Structure formats: C-alpha cells, structure tokens
Amino acid sequence: MLTPRRSDARRNREAILQVAGVAFTDCPRSVPLDEIARRAGLARATVYRHFPDRHALATAVAEKNLEALRCAVDAATDEGRSFRDLLHWVLATQTSMRPLATLMLELPRRDQQRFADEVIGILAPPFLHAQVEGQLRDDLKPADLTLIMLMVNAAVEALPVGDERKPIMDRLIFVILDGVFTRSEV
C-alpha cells in the first residue's frame, strides 16, 4: 500500500512542476534540474528526490499538460471553443515548450508512443465531431494529428533560436490549420 505524501512534499512537488512548466516555456534549450531547484527556491536534493532525472521531470510536466488538455476539451463546448481553437492551442504549446518537446523525443519509443496515443485519444472526440459538422476535412483520421505534430516539431528544430522564431511558428501553425480545416471553418 502506498503511503500518502506529506503536505510539504506535495507542495514541493507542485512547486517544482509549476517552475518546470514555466522554465520549459521561457528557456530556448534544455533546463538542468539544478536550475529548476534554484527557481523553485528548493534544495537540489529535494528536486532530485521527486524527479531523479530530467526525463522524469519532463514526463511529469507532460502528464500535467495532458490533464490541462483534457480539461480544455471538456470545457470547449461550454466556452464556445472550436476544434480548430483546441488544435491551435496544442500546436502553440508544442512550439513554445521546446525543451519539453526535446526531452520527450529522448524518451524510449514506447513512452513517446504512449504520450502520442493519449493526445490522440483526448483529441479524437472533438476531432470526429468537427468532421461530422463539416469543419474538418473528411479524409483525415485522428492518427493524422501525430503527423501534424511531427511536422511542427521538425519545423521548430530547423529554425534558429531567437525572437524571429515565434512569428514564423505562428504562421506555420495557421498554414497547417488552414490545410486541415474546410474553408467554412477558416
């Protein structure tokens, strides 16, 4: 039987995940665990106790992002967000969190596939709904979302790091979205 974590341990873990999420967004390259500890105001040992390496931290942040995606999909109807809005958010997050995306690509292939399958599983219901509504090309399959994410990832990797990257990536996302959605959705 697992023993519940102490409240301070839970707080520390959440603080580390929060800081890592920000660091994975505002740093152009890999973020060492020592930097995460410094930003969180915690001892290195505390960070390493929760996350023995950067891949464990990346996996935990990715799990947190999957939960955020589930919540966004659940709230999409109430908030009037279309599938295009959801997919834009996914792709924009992917491009803005480069260190996380890079670390995820270093995971064993089966773990990468598990995360890809989870993203597809979360997005499949609104994808299929958008297709039925005529907003999304009818020749696409939910699995094609993996190809779209791979294309975006390859494009980001090909661009130099710098301020000029964001407008180029924003443009790429819109071009890709225009290619998968019908004209009536654009």
pLDDT digits (tens, 9 = 90+) for 135-181: 999 999 999 999 999 999 888 888 777 767 788 889 999 999 999 99
How far, in whole angstroms, is CA 72 from its chain's centroid? Answer: 12
Q: What is the pLDDT of residue 8?
A: 83
Residue 164 belongs to a domain: yes
Confidence of residue 28 (pLDDT cuts 50, 70, 90): low
Looking up residue 97, the CATH number of its domain turns out to be 1.10.357
Statement: residue 5 has pLDDT above 80 = no
Confidence of residue 67 (pLDDT cuts 50, 70, 90): very high
**If DSSP codes are grouped into helix, strand and coil, which group holds residue 27?**
coil
Whole domain around residue 150: which residue ranges? 54-180
Residue 20 belongs to a domain: no
Statement: residue 3 has pLDDT above 60 = no
Statement: residue 70 has pLDDT above 60 = yes
What amino acid occupies position 85?
D
Count of domains observed in the chain: 1
Residue 13 belongs to a domain: no
Mean of the pLDDT values across residues 120-127? 96
**Using an 8 Å Cβ cutoff, are 126 and 76 in contact?**
yes
Statement: residue 118 has pLDDT above 60 = yes
